Amino acid sequence: MSKTIQFFDTTLRDGEQTIGVNFDIDHKVAIAKQLEAWGVDVIEAGFPVASDGDFEAVEAVSKAVTKAQVTGLARAKKKDIDACVKATAAAKNKQIHVFIATSPIHREDKLHMTKEQVIKSIHDSVSYAHKFFEIVEFSPEDATRTEPDFLVESIQTAIDAGATVINIPDTVGYTNPEEFEQLFKNLRENIPMFDQITFSVHCHDDLGMAVANSLQAIKSGATRIEGTINGIGERAGNAALEEVAAAMYVRKDYYQADNHIDMAETMKTSQMISHFSEMPVPHNKAVVGANAFAHESGIHQDGMLKNPQTYEILTPTVVGANKTTLPLGKLSGSHAVMTKLQNMGYQVDKDDMKRIFPRFKHVADHSSIVSEEQLRNIMNQIKEIA
């Protein structure tokens, strides 16, 4: 592969901003260890200055993690940076993540700062952070709504001050893949050290394009993707990292990039986050949903029985799921019903199905899923008639 994509997980920080989600310290340590087992490169453990609880959680994760980098989030303020320094002191591998908003609406209506003031803040905060951290990540918040020339100026200022990672946040899920490609093209053309810097992206899902935008960023030059497990996070959430990983796995031919993710740990990781966050994974959720490897349509079931690759581009074993299922419902075909009956021990063939299948369809019309018990009842009725 031509390049390796780093995975930056912010489930413990941005993910915890999900309404109603509150991980305690024990949960955060358990999640961090599982994220490390899954293969993430960077764990954003929290926002240390925000509260004593957040500080203690970042400190605990820093002590528990042995391979992944641990980072804390900091506004472009000295006190935030100091909090990150103290909270990550015990980490074997660490970095810091410094941010300030750069878009007009954030500068003017939220920060009440001029462009010149923002640039000075970037220079001062990144320079200060660089005194304590070899790896300094800088994020121009709301980058996708920032003027292209000012975005370049902000990023160049951060690089000159010592930033080694530049993150491009699509803070409100505003952009689309084509615009993201153009944004990266502009950066590549105007940032002399583009290829020497790790470019990251942090995409939100307000318009349902977080994963698509993240994948486009890989094609456009990003070498780090930020997101959360199950896509949890502020408002509509973040890019679902398990979906990014699955896309890279299935379409290696297209993305021409590798990563350190252990795909077999995917389902376990997703289920842990679902349990601790008390947020059930939607059945139709890509990669980790209960229906991701289930097929009810008769046409699909027939194809699956002949060759699973007809309707599955990713096998359940790859992501650590149990197995493919072919639930029987009103859309199921004769082939699937016959195979199910054979698996249950019945000696049936295509001729037998001419009698069995009409009875199955009658039952299926009044049931969401036809159970094994219902199938046995059907077979008992057929015997009685025979």
Q: What is the CATH number of the domain that holds 266?
A: 3.20.20.70
Q: Is the pLDDT confidence value at 229 over 80?
A: yes
**286 domain residue, yes or no:** no
140, 25: one domain: yes
pLDDT of residue 380: 93
Express each pLDDT in 89-132 by its tens digit.
999 999 999 999 999 999 999 999 999 999 999 999 999 999 99
Q: Is the pLDDT confidence value at 1 over 60?
A: no
Express each pLDDT in 51-91 by its tens digit.
999 999 999 999 999 999 999 999 999 999 999 999 999 99
The parent domain of residue 315 ranges over 294-386
Q: Is the pLDDT confidence value at 2 over 80?
A: no
Express each pLDDT in 267-321 by its tens digit.
999 999 999 999 999 999 999 999 999 998 999 999 999 999 999 999 999 999 9
pLDDT of residue 386: 56
- Mean confidence (pLDDT) of the chain: 96
220, 346: one domain: no
Read off the pLDDT of each residue in 35-55 and give the average, rounded to a whole number: 98
pLDDT of residue 200: 98
CB neighbours of residue 306 within 10 Å: 10
d(CA 76, CA 82) in angstroms, rounded, equals 11
Q: CB-based contacts of 118: which residues, under 8 Å, 6+ apart? A: 100, 101, 102, 107, 111, 154
Q: What are phi and psi of 168, to 5 degrees?
A: -105, 100
Q: In the chain, what percentage of residues exceed pLDDT 90?
A: 96
104, 50: one domain: yes
| DSSP type of residue 277 | H
**Whether pTM exceeds 0.85:** yes
151, 254: one domain: yes
Read off the pLDDT of each residue in 231-255 and give the average, rounded to a whole number: 98
139, 251: one domain: yes
Q: Which of 243, 277, 311 is the last residue of a domain?
A: 277
Can you spell out the DSSP letters for 139-199? Answer: EEETGGGS-HHHHHHHHHHHHHHT--EEEEEETTS---HHHHHHHHHHHHHH-TTGGGSEE
36, 130: one domain: yes
Express each pLDDT in 168-218 by its tens digit.
999 999 999 999 999 999 999 999 999 999 999 999 999 999 999 999 999
Question: How many domains in the chain?
Answer: 2
Q: Is the pLDDT confidence value at 384 over 80?
A: no
Q: State the amino acid at position 270 in one-letter form.
A: S
